Chains A and B, each alone.
Chain A
Amino acid sequence: MNLKKISVLGSILVTGFIAESSFACSSCGSSATAPLVLNPNENLKMYLGLSQNFGYMNYGGYGASATTRTANKMLTSRKTLTLAVGYRTSENSFVTLTGSVIQNEGPADTMNYANGTKTKYLLGDPILSGRYNLVNMGMDNIYRPQIQLMAGYKPGLAKNMVDRDGGAVDTVGNGFHQTNGGIDFWWGMPMIQFGASQLVTYSFNRTPGNDFGGGINQAKRTRDLQYTTVLTVGHAFTDYKFSVQAGMILDYIGEETIYLENSAGNQISKTISPAQSNSAFFLAKFNVTDLDTLRFTYTIGGAYDGNLGPYTNSNQTTSNSALVAYERTFF
């Protein structure tokens, strides 16, 4: 019997197996914000998520203080279908590409909310991101965290307000081409898991050169750095192939400056104050099979309302969201 036949027979003769899933969770330190992360045993993985945002609130709306919360009537609901694909590029690194289709719902006439509602379908900004495992967890020391370096790029391609593509229902992106980098820590081996990640986002300056209204040209738009902190605690019920996590996302968005120019060539600038947005999230993951995972996430936007010093929610639109996602590992 030649070697090929032996190996085929060997495969056929494999009779039993214990199908237990690993809970490496690479990396759950920021899984509340990243749609797709790859475990070390995964080379190609797909993510399909459906989410609904609702309960839109404004902090610092027109005539209100920066931290006062009022209902946002410009957008009532947003449904997002997210598709992401992750590919392992080396033993310690992988890249993901994320795209989304969005359905916005809001008033047809923002001057008169009684005039019915309108629905708009939009494409979200694509996101290309990558991660590199600097340190791996290990059973020799369960308190050594997995440490990942993160980087990403998001072109501002979606309809947005910087490009004056319309109101809240007609737009979805923030209008900036952005790149980010950060670090993610995940202690996934102890009974109580813990994660912490910090991301810094840089927004490239925009020169829209469009009409800002009243014949004024929007010459340039800049945004300062954005800092996103994610803190997570979790527990894996390995016997049930089930894990739960909860945590918070603290998001600080730097000051935005709009440079305007009138027909006489005079320049003025307007600033939009820095914003803070805090969310609380609850996540449940169920490993249906070795290769299939179901994920449910509920996020409360504008969480920890009240005076939290520099972390007080301000100058932001927040919303709650419910997400169901399916992940499939191909190999």
Chain B
Amino acid sequence: MKYNFILKFLSIILLLNSSISYALCEVVDLDDFIKSVHGKKNIQLIFFSSWCSDCKKELLKIKDNLNENYILINTFDSIGKGEIALKSLKINHKCIFDKDRLIAKKYNVKSVPKKLIVP
């Protein structure tokens, strides 16, 4: 009886955890990315890497204020690392994986963390 209760409790916890989906850092074409940003007001691009300790601080700082104006860009990194990092910080927000560092190049981003405001 006691064990059944524990098993049920654990199952609920598991179900709850699986229902929380974390951001998948999407790979997008540079032109598509520029198009998606164009025309929108006050878009904030947050460039981060999973290996960067300052990025963790920066992401935690903005975590509670994230809204549709923020786009997280995982750059200078391997594919999949950004998602693991965001999951560890319990951040579920729109994220783009910067394949071949093209977005960083486009916006002249040389180091992370970096926040750019696109008016």
Q: Name the A residues within 8 Å of B59 (CB-CB).
A: 139
B110 and A20 contact, CB distance less than 8 A: no
B85 and A140 contact, CB distance less than 8 A: yes
Report the bound CA distance from A92 to B51 in whole Å.
12
Supposing A40-B49, A139-B89 touch, asked if A17 and B55 sit within 8 A by C-beta, the answer is no
Contact of B53 among A11, A13, A139, A290 (CB under 8 A): A139
B81 and A138 contact, CB distance less than 8 A: yes
**B window 27-72: CB within 8 A of A:** 31, 34-35, 37-38, 49-59
B87 nearest in chain A by CB position: A140
Supposing A10-B38, A22-B113, A139-B88 touch, asked if A40 and B118 sit within 8 A by C-beta, the answer is no
Q: How large is the interface on B (under 10, 10 to 19, 20 to 34, 35 or more residues)?
A: 35 or more
B54 and A23 contact, CB distance less than 8 A: yes
A329 nearest in chain B by CB position: B110
A3 and B35 contact, CB distance less than 8 A: yes
A3 and B76 contact, CB distance less than 8 A: no
A139 and B112 contact, CB distance less than 8 A: no
Supposing A6-B34, A40-B77, A236-B53 touch, asked if A14 and B107 sit within 8 A by C-beta, the answer is yes
A17 and B119 contact, CB distance less than 8 A: no
Supposing A3-B34, A7-B34, A140-B87 touch, asked if A41 and B106 sit within 8 A by C-beta, the answer is no
A14 and B53 contact, CB distance less than 8 A: no
Supposing A138-B51, A139-B53 touch, asked if A20 and B85 sit within 8 A by C-beta, the answer is no
A138 and B84 contact, CB distance less than 8 A: yes
Q: Name the A residues within 8 Å of B107 (CB-CB).
A: 11, 14
Does A136 sit within 8 A of B, measured CB to CB? Answer: yes
Supposing A20-B54, A136-B51, A139-B55 touch, asked if A331 and B38 sit within 8 A by C-beta, the answer is no
B37 and A10 contact, CB distance less than 8 A: yes
Does B114 sit within 8 A of A, measured CB to CB? Answer: yes
Q: Chain A's nearest CB lies how many Å from the CB of B91?
A: 11
B54 and A238 contact, CB distance less than 8 A: yes
Report the bound CA distance from A267 to B37 in whole Å.
79
Does B111 sit within 8 A of A, measured CB to CB? Answer: yes
Identify the interface centre among B50, B52, B89, B116: most chain A CB within 10 Å of its CB: B52
